[in-house]
Structure formats: structure tokens, C-alpha cells
Amino acid sequence: MLYKKTAVIGHPVDHSLSPTIHNHWIKNLALNIEDYKKIDVHPNEFSDEIDNLIDQGYYGLNVTVPLKELAYKKADRLSDVSKATKAVNTLVFKNGQIFGTNTDPVGFESSLAKNIIENKIKNKKCLVLGAGGSARAIIYALDKMSGKISAYNRTEEKVVLLKKQMKINIENLDATEVNKKLEEFSFIVNTTSVGLSSGPQKDLVDFSNATKNCFVYDLIYKPKETGFMKQAQANGLSTQNGLNMLIGQAAASFYIWHGVNPEVSVDLIQNLATD
């Protein structure tokens, strides 16, 4: 008997590598579980689609952009991390209730080398681009790592709301300020959809203003080198994409659903490199 149907939902979701990761673990661990799917869910239909998926027997879902804040509102019960971030990336349907948690913060922190945390984040100025569900997870993690956080979003009101809800000291920058102050930051992270093949191709910041020891991180992992990363590299900056964060948050979700800590093997990395 197959059980514990799981999937990732988002809009768009075609780019997601989550099925490659989860299905690799399901196969290698010989679990009696249906293949992990990817399902496009429009934000306007979110609540009804969740109900439909529960009726179809789904046990758990990963939630990606732009649905993380909607998932937070849909959940009956929430983890402390989800309460703090006001965003959910992992849902569990059990005993007639919807439980929501957020494995993005632990996935993000686990993806960073120790020297990056110590030399670029701890007690250093960090810039977060964006103010959606992913940004909330990153801000939560940076705050736990003792980063001094500034944020820029085209809609400034979203940063104001985020700051109020999360109760974290965040400097809210406008478009002019962010480029004037860029040289102050040792860590810059993009949480927006800029760089996705289906997303807008626009420059977020002028990297010529950045200090040369600044480390640039993009949550996007497909393409492996986004336009955002290439602009940073063209100005001599070191970069990292979001693949290791994806794997880290996936492993945490997998454990929540199946009670098994999956191995991040060389085979998995090779599969992701060719997918």
C-alpha cells in the first residue's frame, strides 16, 4: 500500500528541483511512498486547492513562492519558527488538522560555510532584497546569526509590515538609499524572483558600489548562475546560489514527514547538476 503522498506547490513551479531531491531519497531509502510531485497552484485558488489536495490523500506539501504567507494563514497549528516568520514552507495534514512550519531558516543557515557566518554575517551589516515569505525566513536566520539587517523592497510598506510583525530591528531602505549604502554591506542576499527564467530581468542593485569583500547570495538555484549573480561576479564579488539551502530545507521537511534523516550524497548532487 502506498501512503504519505507529498508534493511541492508554487506558481510557477516548473523550475523546482524538489521532486529530484525527494524522489532520490524515497528511492534510495526504499520507502513505500508515492513519488513526490510538483503542482502549480495559483494564489487566488490557494485555499480551495489545499482542500482538494487533502481530499486526494496528500499528507504533506512543500510551499514555494508566492504561497508561503497564504500557507501561514491556512494552517490550524504553527511551529514557533512559522509564528516568528509569519510564513510556512512545509505543511502536514494529520488528524483533520493542517500543521505549518518553516524549514527555510535552518536550510539557509546550513548552506553557509562557517567562515561566511563568522566573517560576513556575525555583527556585520547584511542586506536583504525582498520582503516576501522567503525574505522573512532569511531575516529570521540572519537575526539568529547576529547579523545587522537592512532590507529593500520596491513596495516599502511590505518591509514596514514585516518589521512590525517579526519584531526585529530592520533598517528599511528605498531605491536611492540602497545603492548609496551598498559599500557598507558584507553580505547581500536576494530573496526575490529576479533571475528566474519566468521572472523579471531587472537590476536590483548597482554592484559597482559594493565593497570587494562583500559576499552575494541568491536564493534562486535554477539557473545555477542568475543574472543577479553574474552582475556581482562582474564586479569581482564572490557568490552562492540557493541549491544547498534547497537541499537543507528539503532534508528537514523529509524528516518531518517520514521520520528519516536523508543522506546528501554525491549521487544526489550529480543528479541535481544534470537536471
The pLDDT of residue 147 is above 80: yes
Whole-number pLDDT of residue 273: 77
Whether the Cβ atoms of residue 256 and residue 22 lie closer than 8 Å to each other: no
Across 251-266, average pLDDT: 94
Q: Which grid cell sits at 152?
A: 529593500
**Tens digit of each residue's pLDDT (9 = 90 or more) over 188-200:** 999 998 766 544 4
The amino acid that residue 201 corresponds to is: Q
**Tens digit of each residue's pLDDT (9 = 90 or more) over 19-53:** 999 999 999 999 999 999 999 999 999 999 999 99
Across 14-18, average pLDDT: 92
Predicted model pTM = 0.91
Structural domains in the chain, CATH included, are 5-102+245-274 (3.40.50.10860), 106-241 (3.40.50.720)
Whole-number pLDDT of residue 78: 98
**Tens digit of each residue's pLDDT (9 = 90 or more) over 88-104:** 999 999 999 999 999 99
**Tens digit of each residue's pLDDT (9 = 90 or more) over 222-236:** 888 999 999 999 999
Mean residue pLDDT across the chain: 93
Q: What Å distances lie between residue 134 and 19, 117, 119, 263, 266, CA to CA?
A: 19, 19, 23, 25, 27
148-152: strand order across its sheet: 170-173, 148-152, 125-129, 187-190, 215-218, 238-240
**Tens digit of each residue's pLDDT (9 = 90 or more) over 55-94:** 999 999 999 989 999 999 999 999 999 999 999 999 999 9
**Tens digit of each residue's pLDDT (9 = 90 or more) over 163-206:** 999 999 999 999 999 999 999 999 999 999 876 654 444 578 99
The C-alpha atoms of residue 26 and residue 24 are separated, in whole angstroms, by 6
Cβ-based neighbour number of residue 76 at 10 Å = 11
Identify the burial level of 274 via C-beta atoms within 10 angstroms of its C-beta, where 0-12 means exposed, 13-18 middle and 19 or more buried: exposed
Taking alpha carbons only, the member of 92, 115, 112 closest to residue 102 is 92
Q: Is 68 a catalytic residue?
A: yes
Catalytic residue among 37, 68, 86, 120: 68
With bands split at pLDDT 50, 70 and 90, how would you rate the model's confidence at 162? very high
The pLDDT of residue 263 is above 70: yes
The pLDDT of residue 209 is above 50: yes
Percent of the chain with pLDDT over 70: 96
